[in-house]
Amino acid sequence: MSDLTLREAIARHGLDARKSLGQHFLLDPSVCGRIAALAGDLTDRHVIEIGPGPGGLTRALLASPAAQVVAVELDRRAVALLAELAAAHPGRLTIIEGDALKIDVTTLAPAPRRIIANLPYNVGSPLLVGWLRQAAAIEGMTLMFQQEVAERITAAPDTPAYGRLAVLSQWRCRCDLLMRLPPGAFSPPPKVWSAVVGFTPRAEDPGDALFRAMERMTAAAFGQRRKMLRGALKSLGDAEGLLAAAGIEGSRRAETLTVAEFDRLARELLARSV
């Protein structure tokens, strides 16, 4: 199997790319190697890959000093192809057939865990938010998204891309946009550019209740981003009291708030709802 080129393996298994599964494959081993390298030193790390597809990035991860790779793939055709790769790497590659949206990644491999993936674009954001909730149990993530999503994750306040995804991501992790790739790097090429974001979880674990409060806060604030916060936060109860307690002017708009200011608001919201 490892002697077959990716194109040969794809042809043998009839793995023609399906749009419904967000399939845009990376077939150039040097590009796959560069993405794996962006994850840093993987010595003794347990790597979780989501959506390995034909396994280009998987092969690069297996070439690293990672302890093992556990890969979750929804497409049965790809799972059959990957079974051959697993047989060629006994004990180092486990393929799980399933929907990553329904799987708790912390059950897949012990710590220290890294998630490394060229994500299916249609479910990239919900997958990310699920992992941010569990970021304390993850050592790091190196994830490819559509460039527009990568820019929303890493956006600064007072920019059009700044919103819920930026606040949740940057609240839980240091986020770095590490690499941009043109459509032609993929087969078939998507319509847009892609980009890799590196996530380094912050030491402090907010816990479930505060994470949920932050989700409610950012949903309300950015749900009506043109409104002043004293109006936008009304759905959460005493908006004026909440803002005053967090030391934030009610006339400000969500996109002007720093992540630290959102943190204060989420803590106030939690304190008032218990």
Q: Which stretch binds ligand SAM (CB under 6 A): 19-27, 105-113, 146-154, 158-166?
A: 19-27
* Of the residues 10, 36, 48, 57, which one makes contact with ligand SAM according to CB under 6 A: 57
Query: How many residues appear in the chain?
Result: 274
Identity of the amino acid at 189: P
- Does 21 interact with ligand SAM (rule: CB under 6 A)? yes
Count of residues of this chain found to bind ligand SAM when the rule CB under 6 A is applied: 24
Is residue 99 a known part of a binding site?
Answer: yes
Is residue 148 a known part of a binding site?
Answer: no
- Does 48 interact with ligand SAM (rule: CB under 6 A)? no
Q: Build a one-symbol-per-residue string for 70-109: x at contacts with ligand SAM by CB under 6 A, - elsewhere.
A: --xxxx--x--------------------xxx--------
Contact 92, 65 (CB under 8 A): no
Q: Build a one-symbol-per-residue string for 115-154: x at contacts with ligand SAM by CB under 6 A, - elsewhere.
A: ---x-x--x-------------------------------
Is residue 268 a known part of a binding site?
Answer: no
Show binding-site residues for S-adenosyl-L-methionine: 24, 26, 51, 73, 99, 118
Binding site for ligand SAM (CB under 6 A): 21-26, 50-54, 56-57, 72-75, 78, 99-101, 118, 120, 123
- Residue ranges of the annotated binding site are 24, 26, 51, 73, 99, 118
